[in-house]
Amino acid sequence: MSARAVIFGCAGLTLGEEEKRFFADADPWGFILFARNCADEVQIAALCADLRAAVGRNAPIFIDEEGGRVSRLRAIGGRLGPAADIFARSGLPLEDQCQAVQANYAAIGARLISMGIDADCAPVLDLPMANADPIISDRAFSTNPERAAILGQACLDGLNSAGVAGVIKHIPGHGRADVDSHKALPVVSASREDLKVHDFEPFKRLKNAPMAMTAHVIYSAFDPDNVATCSRIVIDEIIRGQIGFDGLLMSDDLDMQALAGSLGDRAEAVLGAGCDVVLQCSGALDAMREIMPFVPVLAGGALRRAEAARAGVARTIIDVADAEAVAEMWLSRIMGTRA
């Protein structure tokens, strides 16, 4: 594999000739789609095919399709699925909650794979706190570490059953963040012990997930100067050490305002800290060109983890209509308990 350690967005509904030439030369490991790239199922499938053709291989294509308010497919209609917190709040036995979560994400996964999207940036394993910024809130499965992990695993299982790889986020935990990292720099001042027994625990329980996305958050108890994404201390000591995560580690988006410096500075800091892959989502050619000098070809442990993330996904085909019918049956039960 000669792919470079980056996941890029693209500008619109189709690829322009300049984009095709850039991607062929840059050879990013993967791509990520946003609402600006989605008009309907046929168009999305064609775009996915063109992205892969540009790099000449079956590159992974990501999307943020959590359900609830984080849905890139909302503009094209169809079933989207509920916010994650609805399952634990249903009052159903935990076993039923797990079956409902798995069915929901199997349906989401079946729809994604039918269009050529084979990686979903879900589940959210963050544990929201009452005084935190609402950026996480209902996107999380639970405020309880054990339950968040159990339901997060059901999400991964559902996606995988449809041939879609999941990405746990935002490691090692975004739930205490006092501001939205898209807009500003969050600083978490909780003690090492509180973070270890609470925030880090869901990620530790799901340490065998194929991929994880970092948090653009400063944990002052560990590294008061750098967000986790750019912290060798947090990545080595916490993510790879205490949590024990050995899957592919990707950054959250380089364009977010929690990060400082130029895009090139950010890419260099992310990879220098120990992330395997950088994520640059804007789809702007100038921005992508800016970071290319700082992005190496995947090699060593990063290459091993990238290949493992791709190899571990089921290759079964699930009928979208059947999967959605099962998911809606469970959703009816959940809503019935809340009536």
> For each of the chain's 339 residues, which pLDDT tens digit applies?
589 999 999 999 999 999 999 999 999 999 999 999 999 999 999 999 999 999 999 999 999 999 999 999 998 999 999 999 999 999 899 999 999 999 999 999 999 999 999 999 999 999 999 889 999 999 999 999 999 999 999 999 999 999 999 999 999 999 999 999 999 999 999 999 999 999 999 999 999 999 999 999 999 999 999 999 999 999 999 999 999 999 999 999 999 999 999 999 999 999 999 999 999 999 999 999 999 999 999 999 999 999 999 987 877 789 999 999 999 999 999 987 654
Preceding amide of 82 cis, omega within 30:
no
First to last CA, the chain: 53
- How confident is the model over 111-158, as pLDDT tens digits? 999 999 999 999 999 999 988 999 999 999 999 999 999 999 999 999
Q: Give CA–CA dist 339/330, Å, rounded.
A: 15
Residues labelled as active-site residues: 182, 252
Which residue is associated with the tokens 């807009």? 183
Those residues whose C-beta lies under 8 Å from the C-beta of residue 174, and which sit 6 or more positions away, are: 126, 135, 136, 181, 186, 215, 217
Token look-up 């943020």 returns 64
Alpha helices in 115-226 (DSSP H): 145-161, 192-194, 201-205
Give burial (CB, 10 Å; 0-12/13-18/19+) of 301. middle
Domain that holds residue 268: 4-337
**Inter-residue contact 280 to 29 (CB < 8 Å):** no
> Using CB atoms within 10 A of its CB, is residue 303 exposed (0-12), middle (13-18) or buried (19+)?
middle
Work out the number of other CB atoms within 10 angstroms of the CB of residue 296: 12
Residue 221, both tokens: 């108890």
Which residues are bridge partners to 7 per DSSP? Answer: 30, 279
- Residue 257 has a CB neighbour count (10 Å cut-off) of 13
Cα distance between residue 69 and residue 139, in whole Å: 8
Length of the chain: 339
CATH number at residue 104: 3.20.20.300
DSSP string over 46-64:
HHHHHHHHHHTS---EEE-
Q: What is the pTM of this model?
A: 0.96
Beta bridge partners of 279: 7, 253
Characterize the bridge pairing of strands 70-71 and 65-67: antiparallel
Token duo for residue 325: 């019918």
Cα dihedral angle (249, 253, 257, 260), rounded to 10 degrees?
Answer: 60
DSSP 104-151: HHHHHHHHHHHTT--EE---B-----TTS-TTSGGGSS-SSHHHHHHH
Assess contact for 255 and 284: CB atoms under 8 A: no
Domain count, the chain: 1
| Closest CA relative to residue 215, chosen from 196, 239, 245 | 239
How many CB atoms neighbour CB 204 within 10 A? Answer: 18
What DSSP state is assigned to residue 298?
Answer: P
Rounded Cα gap, residues 128 and 176, in angstroms = 6
DSSP 195: I
Residue 91 makes CB contacts below 8 A (sequence gap 6+) with 337, 338
Q: What is the pLDDT of residues 32-82, one digit of tens each?
A: 999 999 999 999 999 999 999 999 999 999 999 999 999 999 989 999 999
Token pair, residue 256, equals: 């977010």
List the structure tokens of 293: 């000098």
